[in-house]
Amino acid sequence: MFSTAFLDVPALQGASGTVTLPGSKSISNRVLLLSALCQGTTVVHDLLDSDDTRVMLAALRQLGCGVDVQGATVTITGLGGQLKHHDAIEFFMGNAGTAMRPLTAALAVLGGDFTLKGVPRMHERPIGDLVDALRLLGCSIDYLGNDGFPPLHIGQPSLKVDAPIQVRGDVSSQFLTALLMALPLAAKTQDIVIEVVGELISKPYIDITLNLLARYGIAVKRDGWQRFTIPQGCSYQSPGTIHVEADASSASYFIALGAIAEGDGIRIQGVGADSIQGDIRFMDAAAQMGAKITSGPNWLEINRGSWPLKGITLDCNHIPDAAMTLAVMALYADGPTTLRNIASWRVKETDRIVAMATECRKLGATVEEGPDWITVHPLPKDGWKAASIHTYDDHRVAMCFSLAAFNADQVPVRIEDPKCVAKTFPDYFEALFSVAHADTQHIPVICIDGPTASGKGTLASSSSNITLTSNVMSLSTTSVTTSGTVTVQPYGNSFTSALSWPLTNLTLSNSVTGLTIGKSTNTANVTLGSATNIAGFVTIYGGTVALNAALTGTNINVTGNSITEASGIAVTSTGGNNIIDNVFEGNLTQVAYGGHGDNNNSPKNVWRGNYWDDYQGFDRNGDGIGDRTHELYSYADQIWMELPIARFFRSSPVMELLMVCSTFISSRPTPPVTCPIR
Q: Catalytic residue numbers?
A: 321
SS3 (DSSP) at 265 = strand
For the chain, what is the radius of gyration of the CA atoms?
Answer: 33
567 CB-near residues (< 8 Å, 6+ apart): 542, 545, 546, 547, 548, 549, 587, 588
Rounded to 5°, the CA angle 522-528-531 comes to: 170
CA distance 389 to 274: 34
Q: What are phi and psi of 563, to 5 degrees?
A: -110, 110
Q: Which of 401, 393, 399 is nearest to 124 (CA)?
A: 393
CA dist 529 and 507 (Å) reads 6
| Rounded-to-integer distance, Cα 12 and Cα 426, Å | 21
State residue 358 phi and psi, 5-degree precision.
-60, -45
Share in percent of the chain as helix, strand, coil (round to 5):
30, 25, 45
Bridge partners (DSSP) listed for residue 370:
373
Distances (CA, A) of 421 to 26, 315, 353, 363: 15, 26, 19, 21
DSSP-derived secondary structure letter, 514 = S
In whole angstroms, what is the distance from residue 417 CA to residue 400 CA? Answer: 14
Long-range CB contact pairs, 16-19, < 8 A, 24+: 16/263, 16/264, 16/265, 16/266, 16/435, 16/437, 17/266, 17/267, 17/434, 17/435, 18/266, 18/267, 18/268, 18/269, 18/435, 19/254, 19/266, 19/267, 19/268, 19/269, 19/431, 19/434, 19/435
The continuous run of DSSP H or E covering 31 comes out as helix 25-37
Residue 228: other Cβ atoms inside 10 A: 25
Beta bridge partners of 237: 39
Residue 373: strand, helix, or coil: strand
- Partners of residue 69 on adjacent β-strands: 74
Amino acid at 106: A
